[in-house]
Amino acid sequence: MDASTARLPGQDAAHPDGQYGTVAKWFHWITVGLIAIALPTGFVIKFITGEADGAYKMGFYAIHESAGLTVLLAAIARVLWKATHPAPPHPPELPGAMRVAATAVHHGLYALLIVQPLLGFLATNAWGFPLQGQTAYLRLIDLPKFMEASEGLAQTLSLLHTIGGYLFVLLLAAHIGGAIFHHAIRKDGTLMRML
């Protein structure tokens, strides 16, 4: 059997271009769920002000930080899994520019899935609020404080975390838009590879 007739991983009638494995799909959709929690709570936190809303704001921080740290753990596990279980290849008819764009968006998302939670974790520590007490990881696990508060560092890390959040939204929009484009316009099997 030559390369042109070789079966792709997971190739069947519903997945003519092959598909990701079950574990990769679980990583993907769990990450989607965590991002659906982390992103909105992160963007809303800054609008919660006033003494009366302090406990409410801490609740948002607890949810955002726990979701973010879980994203980090899932992303690291996902990268390790991907190192030994490569994704199915792009369909041969996919234009080169689309391959480059898809690869760039995927690499950008993977990088941010790791960098964003780290920036947030470092920023909270620099503000003097390690994940302890009201904002303990999953409200159960106090993580050790590993730096003294530093307002200048905290502001820089928070700014980078905010920029990363907006960049993540842009890359996510490109990723979702690309999946819709492939499914609705090109009518190829790209979206089906992850379903």
- CA dihedral 18→171→164→129, nearest 10 degrees, is -50
> What is the residue extent of each domain of the chain?
22-194
Tens digits of residue pLDDT in 109-145: 999 999 999 999 999 999 988 888 888 888 888 888 8
Q: What is the CATH number of domain 22-194?
A: 1.20.950.20
Please report, rounded to a whole number, the percentage of residues in the chain having pLDDT higher than 70: 88
Distances (CA, A) of 112 to 31, 101, 163, 178, 180: 12, 16, 11, 18, 22
- pLDDT the model gives residue 2: 42
Q: Are 114 and 75 in contact (CB under 8 A)?
A: yes
Report DSSP letters for 130-147, one per residue: -S-GGG-BTTTBPPPP-S
Residue 10 binned pLDDT confidence (cut-offs 50, 70, 90):
low
